[in-house]
Structure 1
Amino acid sequence: MSTPAPHAPAARDRLTVLDCTLRDGGYYTNWEFDDALVEDYLRVCAHTGIDIVELGYARFDPGGRGPYGRLPAGLTPNLPKVLPDGHGLRFAVMVDASGLAGVPAAETGPRLAELLATGSLPVDLVRVAVHHSRAAGLAAEIASLRAAGFGVGLNLMQIDLATPAEVTALVRTVADLGPLEAVYVADSLGSLHAARIAELVELFRTGQDAPVGIHGHDNQGFALRNTLAAAEAGATWLDATVLGMGRGAGNARTEQLLAALGTAPDTLQPMLDLVARRFEPLRDTHRWGAGALYAIAGMRRVHPTYVQRLEENAERDVETKLRALHHLAGQHATSFTPQALEDALRHACA
């Protein structure tokens, strides 16, 4: 398939920048964040022109996740007080499609609305994360969310693994789901390159009516480049996180994306202050960001959580990590399981 000619990027006022730090960054903190950090973060988002803040995950079965992984638990009464009048921020949550399996489809929207009604911030956008191969099975859940008053976004996970025929069918599936606020190309494995992203954006932009978004991962150091390439190809919803904080190698950096989109230095300054004061110390602790192991995982389409787990043990030597990662690549480990990690480490240490 030939690469489509790039389009001129949309003007900033036609782009939607969605910051998902609390959701994606939660993979490092178990969705626990200091109250003062969240308050500072929301103030800065309101000041710097972020359009939407994704507050975390909403789940019917909260499990052992921290408060921003089981919203509205993290939404303290003080949060609305830190936002200026007329701030214009919208608030979103993400739901994992696998977490909807135990709920009757028709009840998805009403039950989520009831759950989120107790939170201190108004959520009007729900993003549904689903493996690209399972999107067709979500029609009833999406209709229920829409009927409950939510705007609905769809994040198509691991789309880099889809064949051309599967992508073509997926575009038709999305077109049949009814109105969506956005449909996202999600670079779940950090494996995509700019030319492929441009192709995917073009296919979705021309094949269905919803705005197209990009969620990039930085395994190969391409997250910002890929996000801007998506915008040039016609994507108008752009994801980012502060200092790139997110699962595995992390995401496009909000502060860099805003700068690339022409945000004035005086407007951007509070975001950079927040990075220096709050997020660089977090990175020193949790050590997200691109590196050689994540680059290998991205190129070989290995799920990034394997590298994240390998890196958590500071005493594990690099040769063991490399052997384990090579084994995982040979097993086509595109989904994370603890057993597969144990098997890879056993193989590496044999």
Structure 2
Amino acid sequence: MLNIIPDEVNFLDCTLRDGGYYTGWDFAPELVSDYVATINILPVRMVELGLAGKPESHGYFASVTSSKAEQVAAGLLVKACVMIDAKDALASELPIPLAMIRLTEGLVPGHITTVRVAAHYSSLAACRNICAELSHRGFRVFLNLMQIDAANAAEIEMCVKEVKQIDTIDVLYIADSFGSMKPTRVQELIGRFAGRIEPDIGFHGHDNRGYALVNSVAAAMAGATWIDCTMGGMGRGAGNTASEQLLPILTRLEPSKERALIEHVLRHFDPLRKRYGWGSSAAYQFAGSNFIHPSYVQKLREGRALSEAAIIRRLSDLRADERMSFANEKLSALMAQDIA
């Protein structure tokens, strides 16, 4: 079955960005230097160094600039990218060109070749000028369609039409933001875009229901040529497709390199996993099955004060219009409930 996966699949490791949802986008220098050395021996095409445009108070890797990239990834042998949140530009009172200048201050093409734009699928058309500005400045543009599993057939078809109107997207990502997808849904969504749009197609998986790995393989089989992964599966909520699981399946990874990858994960990311507790669980599975934003579960699990059953009861109290968008005030209300 795996022999139908094309050889040109590219792997993007986004550990320092997605894993930052647990560490506040700060990582120990030793971890980062070992990470770069490990990436250099792996069949990884690109590394996402973090976010751009967030306040410095969010952490070092939440406001990546070109100078930071030169410092932390000077020895990186593969290409690098950063991610911006489309909402940060669309919600600005400034015109899009000026908002983008502020959002990407300190970024010039060089060590960072690509900017990924995270956008809710319903705001795709509004991202046209964002993509144009980034392309004009010399960056490749990858656009991640967030929460698209919640879209109906008509909305997906509208996304296909809108992508055709944006000629500055290099890769269009299907992002399983809720960790809600099954392999059949992954293949259905990729099939709706494949062969109908110019950009390559990528897939970004989350492991709420334990499907991140199988979904990533399904995406490659369906025609996605960019697949995301993270060390130890570290990422927001339940986490992502683990690099050490995905690469040996979809590449001819030499035993010595697989061992080096596993040792790197054991040395640096297993201790972080024990500290922060990402990974599929009953609460994450419930959230994934009900299109509930993963940050609710992540925050409710902090400190391990609540049982999985108690978390699920709190999640059940969220109204349908509250589930997809994380709100601190709603979280506070959930946490204030008596522990039963």
- Give your verdict on TM over 0.5: yes
Q: Which amino acid aligns with 2:41?
A: H
Q: Pick closer, same or farther for the CA change 1:219–1:319 going to 2, 3 Å.
A: closer
CA RMSD of aligned residues (A): 2.3
Match of 1:249 among 235, 238, 241: 238
Match of 1:115 among 106, 121, 140: 106
Paired residue for 1:170? 159
**SS of 2:227 mapped into structure 1:** strand
Paired residue for 1:10? 6
Q: Pick closer, same or farther for the CA change 1:277–1:329 going to 2, 3 Å.
A: farther
Matches within 5 A, 1:224-239: 224-239=213-228
Does residue 302 of structure 1 match 2:292? yes
Does residue 269 of structure 1 match 2:263? no
Q: Pick closer, same or farther for the CA change 1:77–1:54 going to 2, 3 Å.
A: closer
Whether contact under 8 Å (1:7, 1:233) holds in the other structure is: no
Q: Pick closer, same or farther for the CA change 1:225–1:176 going to 2, 3 Å.
A: same
Whether contact under 8 Å (1:108, 1:144) holds in the other structure is: no
Partner deviation per Cα, 1:303-324 (whole Å, 9 max, x = no partner): 1111101100322344432210
Between the two proteins, the alignment pairs up a number of residues equal to 337
TM-score norm. by structure 2 comes to 0.92
Match of 2:173 among 168, 181, 184: 184
Matches within 5 A, 1:1-350: 8-11=4-7, 14-59=8-53, 61-62=54-55, 64-72=57-65, 75=68, 78-83=71-76, 87=77, 89-101=78-90, 102=92, 103-107=94-98, 115-117=106-108, 122-262=111-251, 263-328=253-318, 333-346=323-336, 349=339
Q: Which segments of 5 or more consecutive residues in structure 1 lack a partner in the other structure?
A: 1-5
Q: Pick closer, same or farther for the CA change 1:274–1:49 going to 2, 3 Å.
A: same
Deviates more, 1:256-265 or 1:167-176: 256-265
Whether contact under 8 Å (2:56, 2:62) holds in the other structure is: no
Deviates more, 1:233-242 or 1:121-130: 121-130
Q: Pick closer, same or farther for the CA change 1:332–1:109 going to 2, 3 Å.
A: closer
TM-score norm. by structure 1 comes to 0.90
Give identity over the alignment, percent: 38
Q: Distance in 2 between matches of 1:148 and 1:110?
A: 10
Q: Which segments of 5 or more consecutive residues in structure 2 lack a partner in the other structure?
A: none
Q: Distance in 1 between matches of 2:228 and 2:309?
A: 34
Q: Distance in 2 between matches of 1:113 and 1:287?
A: 32
Partner deviation per Cα, 1:30-84 (whole Å, 9 max, x = no partner): 000011111110111111121100000000x52631010111299275534544x
Q: Pick closer, same or farther for the CA change 1:313–1:177 going to 2, 3 Å.
A: same
Paired residue for 1:3? none
Q: Distance in 1 between matches of 2:258 and 2:16?
A: 20
**SS of 2:80 mapped into structure 1:** strand
